Amino acid sequence: MKLGEKQKLGLTGIAIGVIAVILVVLGNPKNMGFCIACFIRDTAGAMHMHTAPIVEYVRPEIIGIILGSFAISVISGDFRPKGGSSPVLRFVIGFIVMIGALVFLGCPLRMVLRLGGGDLNAFIGLLGFISGIAIGCVFLSNGFTLGKAAVQSRAEGAALSAVTTLLFILFIAAPSLFLFSETGPGSMHAPVAAALLAGLAVGIISERTRLCMAGGIRDIILVRDYTLIIGFAGIFIASLAGNLITGNFSLGFSGQPVAHSKHVWNFLGMLAVGLGSAMLGGCPLRQLILAGEGSSDSVMAVLGMLVGAAFAHNFSLASSADAGPGINGKIALVISIAVLLLIGIVVTLRERRKA
Amino acid sequence: MLDAEDIKVATFHSHYGAMMFHKRVAGSLLRPVPRSLSSSCGTAVFFSSPFSDECTDENTEAVYQKEGEIWRLIWKK
């Protein structure tokens, strides 16, 4: 039986939800089977880019996602290196997406996994995420674009995957090069092989189905298409069922794992993530997938997220669990949203004048 | 509305480009780009009316005609 696009997305979402629950059972923090933002942040810490002692670990899931996407795109013919579409703006937007995610404490994927674990703070985040994407859609409908990408060399397209492979080899062969948390979320992790395999699987199926946490909401708003949102729904249903079965479901606002209940900042954090994702053309997970496919533009967004994570912890912008964001994080987030709006307005007006 | 026997799809460099093309082509539909055409998840325009160069602009990337299960390229910038 040949599966349609919607069935494939539904199965992909369910698979990711199940994999996330299994990774929690194997050792990852609760409601954090997968979190692109948190795991890039942990990896930045492991590489000495920040020194927050509780969030340092080379997350094999991130390595697996990039390499899974790279491998399947090479095999399927989707590996088409391209780039040059406003790389610096993409870096800045990626940086801001990370600030928003670390104020909320999770990327859109973790937001859905938190919802599946009963964390109602994530519902506030979802409202912010939808609002951010809606603002992004206003820009897109009025001419916003980061510009055309041009064909690049295969070396350019494969560079991140090569660096990621090197990182994994060093992680296995010379772990003393890296920092590893002894307490906190960074100290909680599934076995390396399981995490890598999980990442590879998610990278492969997400590449084939174009799964994107932001794209589903964007397509509903822009073209009334409900295909991509099925993946989003599949992740939620599978993680909800998985958490109920494993006893990790806890409904409420307070006492949620690696979360806080500062509603305004949860809303605004995910608004920044939603708006930034709409402007970049995909959520943080999608940026990893596109980077694996050879998009150097998405590599720039990933690097922006990596540097943003380091800044977030070096300058106390990231929220702490329970207490929420400090004054630095609040100021940085408000400025970040203003910068996104400024980029959106300036680029949109420029494109309108050209038209 | 689309004629099942004559479906074309245009792809674009931006969503705005798709919107402009959609406005110029009567009876066209805005939809996500078919997976078989691209691994990107941008907006495409499906239409059945005769294709003309005049409908395109700098944001138009390519136009395909559906032939059975495959899309045949009929125009590219």
Of B39, B42, B59, the CB nearest to A207: B39
- pLDDT category at A1 given cuts 50, 70, 90 is low
Tokens for A179?
Answer: 């920092």
Q: Which residue of A has its CA nearest to B17?
A: A143
Q: Give the model's pLDDT for residue B33.
A: 94
State whether A223 and B31 contact (CB < 8 Å). Answer: yes
pLDDT tens readout for residues A147-170? 999 999 999 999 999 999 999 999
ipTM of the predicted structure? 0.91
Percent of chain A residues past pLDDT 70, beyond the cut: 100
pLDDT tens readout for residues A221-246? 999 999 999 999 999 999 999 999 99
- Cα dihedral across residues A66, A5, A232, A135: positive or negative: positive
Residues 10-69 (B) with a CB less than 8 A from some CB of A: 13-17, 19-20, 30-32, 35, 39-43, 59
Tell me how far CA of residue A92 lies from CA of A135, A306, A348, in angstroms.
18, 11, 17
State whether A227 and B32 contact (CB < 8 Å). Answer: yes
Is B2 domain-assigned? no
Number of domains in chain B: 1
Q: Which comes out higher in pLDDT, residue B3 or A266?
A: A266
Is B3 domain-assigned? no
Is B1 domain-assigned? no
Residue A190 pLDDT > 70: yes
Domain containing B45 equals: 8-76
Is B23 domain-assigned? yes
Q: Give the model's pLDDT for residue A348.
A: 97
Q: What is the mean pLDDT of residues B60-71?
A: 92
Q: Give the model's pLDDT for residue A354.
A: 81
Q: Give the model's pLDDT for residue A201.
A: 98
pLDDT tens readout for residues A195-224? 999 999 999 999 999 999 999 999 999 999
